[in-house]
Each structure stands twice: as C-alpha cells, then as structure tokens.
Chains A and B, each alone.
Chain A
Amino acid sequence: MVAVLRTEGLSKRFGSLHAVEDLNLQVEEGDIYGFLGLNGAGKTTTMRMILRLIRPTAGRVSVFGKDIREDWIGIMSRVGSLVELPAYYPWLSARKNLEILRLATGGLPRARIDEVLALVGLERRMDDRVGTYSQGMRQRLGIAMALLPRPRLVFLDEPSNGLDPHGINHIRGVIRDLNRQEGTTFVISSHLLHEVEITANRVGILKEGRLILQDTMQGILARTVSGLRITAEPAGRAAELLRAQPWVRGVKAEETGALRVDCDPDAFARANSLLLQNGVTVSELTPARRTLEEFFLST
C-alpha cells in the first residue's frame, strides 16, 4: 500500500502549549481516515501544518510520497481541503467564489464548477450571493470548494458542521461514492463518532496533541467491550447478582438504566436464568453492540 499522507514527528507549540506533539500519521491510498479527538486535541492544527498554513515547530510531512516542501505545486493540484469554517466572498455567488478557486488552481474546465455544485446539492442557489446562504448551504459550498480540483486527497475538518440530517447523509454518500468510484482518499476530522464509524476504514485518535491510537476501524471495534445489554427490574439487584458471577468481568449502568455486562456473549442463557431464578424481571436482553463511541469515551 502506498502512503498517501505521512507525517513524521510533526509538532506545534504555541508558546508553552504543546498543541501537537510528535505526530506520526499514516494514511493509505483509498482510505477514509477518521481523525478523532476532543475539542482542542489538535486536529485542526495538524491539518493546518499539513497544508502549510502554519509552520510546524518540528517534523516532516509527505504527501503522495514526496516532501510537501519539495513539490508543493504538484502536490496541491491534487489536494482539496476544508479546514474549520468554510471561507467565501459574501458579495459573490457560489459560482463566482468557485471561479476564483478555479483560476487559482489552473487547468480546470468551467464545467467543473457546475459539476461540484450539483454534487453538494447547491445547483438551485448557485447564482445567489453567498452572504444570503444558510449555515448548511455555506458548509456545502465549503465542501464543493474542497472537491473542486478533482483531488486525490481531501481534508475535511468537521464536514457535518451545520448540516441537517438529510445533508449529513447526502455528504456521506458523496464521500463514499468518490472513495469507491475514484479511489479518492479522505482525512475527516469529526466529533460525530457514529458518522466516523460508518464511513471510516481507519482511525487515528488524538489526545492533547498526541496520537494515542491509530488502527483500522475493525481493529478498534475489536477492542471495545463485548458482552450483554440487560434491562431488568429491580436493576440494582440484577447488577449485584451478575457481579457475583465468576464469568462476569464487570457491570456498568448506562444512562438509560440498562446494564452493560462485560462477559462472553455466549453467556446469554446463563444470565437470563440467573436473573429469573432470583426473581428479577428481565424486559430486554441483547448482545451489546460494539461502538466507536464507547471505545472513544474510554480512552
């Protein structure tokens, strides 16, 4: 596999704050890379360093196998990005805004503008001034800007920002189609873990500027707690009984009142009869779904 993006020892300090520390990312061709981290973890700072908007304190970045400082022009003609908020000239239409980027890119036909606007679902409003757009429409324009140069590698920082459920679904579809049909590689930062879970195939988790984990989605899900999810009455008694069993590794109460039992998922029948025999009413008993959220929150 070819590493489309690789960072080595990438670091950024703002005064005494280590915003990003010794980051070694590796994104492979055709990946949808989910870049996760809490507010202030350093996701945006990382993207800015990769795109040379800010100067790293240390480290190197290579894209398509070349150092970005060596072949910046060649590399950037195949890279698209939306970093933080979409930026635009409010007195111009979406079309004119994209025309400016088309000119700045070079070598793109005019028709490409209408193509990307249709792709993000803005075709009906493309001649209106962007200043009159809703937040979600501006976000769509930002994504259109990232996709304009027919990129092989796209950085999207919180692409779902401001989008309605329909919009999120639509953009997810666009990302998937480009990924499958044209092999476009995406690096997507997000807080929407469910979103990342269903689109990304590889994940990097950033915590206080450090990459604490980088793995395939399957690899990560395999690390989440497995077991059972039980809704029972009285819940306190059920938890007590389960905890006393040698085959139970742990019991946690979810916010909904359901119990999360860390055990072998085959212990289905055993748990059921244990609770029934002790006079506990079981209203729900299912294998626990492994979720990225669970894993993320536990890190």
Chain B
Amino acid sequence: MMLRTLRLTAAESVKLFANPVLYVSLVLIASAAVSGELAQGIFGGQKETVWRNHHAIHLFAYGFRFGMAIATLVLLVFSSMIFAGEFDRGTVKNLLTRPVTRTDVFAAKGVAVGALAAILYGFTLTVSLALALGMGELGPVWDDSMYLMWRDSDEILGHARKAVLMGFLPFLAAGGLGILVSNLTQSSGYAVAGALVLFLFGSLLLGEHPGLFLHHGTYPIRQLEIYARAGSTRWDPRMEEGLLFLKVPLFYIAGFLPAAWAVFRSRDITA
C-alpha cells in the first residue's frame, strides 16, 4: 500500500510539474507578494526615526498576506481539479485499471495536495521574506516620533515565526475543501467554481469567528502586520492558547477528507 501510494504520488508530481498553470500561478503569487511590499515600502512614506526604512517584518507581513491570498486561490483551483480533472478527461479509468486500489489513488492525491500546499507556502514565504529583508531593516520596532523602542528585535522575530507556523494548517484545510468538492462533480469547471464559491462564502459567513472560521491562514499574518507597526494587538489569545490554529483546520480536514474518500471509493466511473 505504501509503495503503491508512493509510486502514484510520483505520477502525480509528473503531471503537476509539467503543468504550465503551476508556473503561471507561481508568477501570480510572487507578483502579489512583491506588489504588496512595494506598495507599502513606497507609499508608506519614509520614517523619521534612526531606522529610516520600514521594518522588514512589517513589509514581510504585507507581502506574505497578499501572496497567501493568491496562493489560497491557487491551492483551491488545483485541489478541486485533482479528481474532477481526471473524471472529465477520463484519465481516472487509466489509473484505476492499474494494479492499485482506489484508496491508493486517493491517498496519493491527498499527499500531492499536501505537498503542493507546502510548496506554495514555502514559495510565498521565500519570496516575501527575501524582498522584505532587501527593502527593510531588522532590529527593534521604534515609535515614529518619540524614539521609543516598542518591541525588541527578538520579540518581533519570535512573533513572526509563530504567525508563519500558525498559518500553514488553515491553508492546508482549503486544499481539503478542494479535494471534497472535486469528488462531488465530474466536471473540473464546476469543481473549481464550486470550491471558490464555497470558500468565499464560508469566509464571509463564518467571518473572523476564531472557533469556526476555516481559513485563519492570513489572520495571524494580518495581526503580525499591525504588531510590527507597533500596534498593540496580537491575535485572539484563543488562537494560540486554545490551540485553535491547530484544532479548527484539523476539524475541517477530518470532515472533508473522509467524506471525499467515501464518495471516491463508491462512485461509478463512466468516463
């Protein structure tokens, strides 16, 4: 089972990395991250303090937030096509008539979506961090006019690290939603549209409620941005202390994946 799933995951990666859409998406993500930081760096004005440039973490938070907003859409598109695309091209019959089980195929696709999420997250992180370090400065966070040190360097860096860690699982949960929707239709067009609509609808409806909102992905980063500007808000303490950043996305993933698997296992393939 492990070996078959590994082989199938390798097959998934052949498809993924040869897909031009992936590279277009990476360019879009990078553009979003870069424009977020440039906009802040240029239009945010020059500071009066000894630290004349923006704080790197402040810029990073902008870039990462913008980049992640696009990366989330990209992950939704890819994950919602991962089954539906095989159904409407008919290629699912090729896979299922090989010496593998449906569970193997499902597992490989789940791993592929997880790996793609990690790649997108790492890519967005790298691009926004590199630019932020180039344009901004590290060190303490100073008050603009009064020359007070608001945050020391270690504190702001530690906070940023946490924010980045807390963002990943919620992002992954969006991939879980994509996998579920992907199994509910035979058409990749409907799957993509359905996943995006459901995701945006969920975001609007569940809003910022920390116990319900499936996508906290950009929330800690948004908070980081305020924090790096010397604002006093951290995130809702329940995010960290109540482990909501962990529990909420895992709850969604634990709902989405078994449902998707049950549908995939029992469906008639007439492609």
In chain B, positions 128-187 with a C-beta closer than 8 Å to chain A are none
How far is B94's CA from A106's CA once the two chains are assembled, in angstroms?
Answer: 14
* Contact call A96/B18, Cβ cutoff below 8 A: yes
Partner of B11, one of A53, A79, A103, A149: A103
Given known A53-B268, A53-B270, A106-B7, contact A89–B97 (CB-CB < 8 A)? no
How far is B105's CA from A53's CA once the two chains are assembled, in angstroms?
Answer: 13
* Contact call A73/B101, Cβ cutoff below 8 A: yes
Interface residues on B, range: 20 to 34
How far is B101's CA from A243's CA once the two chains are assembled, in angstroms?
Answer: 63
Given known A87-B93, A91-B20, A103-B11, contact A72–B101 (CB-CB < 8 A)? yes
**What residues on B are CB-neighbors of A222 within 8 Å?**
none
**What residues on A are CB-neighbors of B90 within 8 Å?**
84-85, 87
* Contact call B91/A89, Cβ cutoff below 8 A: yes
* Contact call B100/A51, Cβ cutoff below 8 A: no
Given known A76-B99, A96-B14, A106-B4, contact A101–B94 (CB-CB < 8 A)? yes
Q: Does A117 contact B (CB under 8 A)?
A: no
* Contact call A100/B269, Cβ cutoff below 8 A: no
**What residues on A are CB-neighbors of B18 within 8 Å?**
91-92, 96
Q: What is the chain B residue whose CB lies nearest that of A104?
A: B98
Q: Does A54 contact B (CB under 8 A)?
A: yes
Q: What is the chain A residue whose CB lies nearest that of B13?
A: A103
20 CB-based A-B contacts, threshold 8 Å: A48-B268, A48-B269, A51-B96, A54-B270, A73-B4, A73-B100, A87-B89, A89-B89, A89-B91, A91-B19, A92-B14, A92-B15, A92-B18, A96-B14, A101-B94, A103-B10, A103-B14, A104-B11, A106-B4, A149-B98
Known: A76-B99, A81-B97, A90-B89. 19 other contacts (CB 8 A): A48-B268, A51-B93, A53-B96, A53-B97, A53-B268, A53-B270, A54-B270, A55-B266, A73-B4, A74-B99, A84-B90, A87-B92, A87-B271, A101-B11, A101-B98, A103-B8, A104-B100, A106-B7, A106-B99
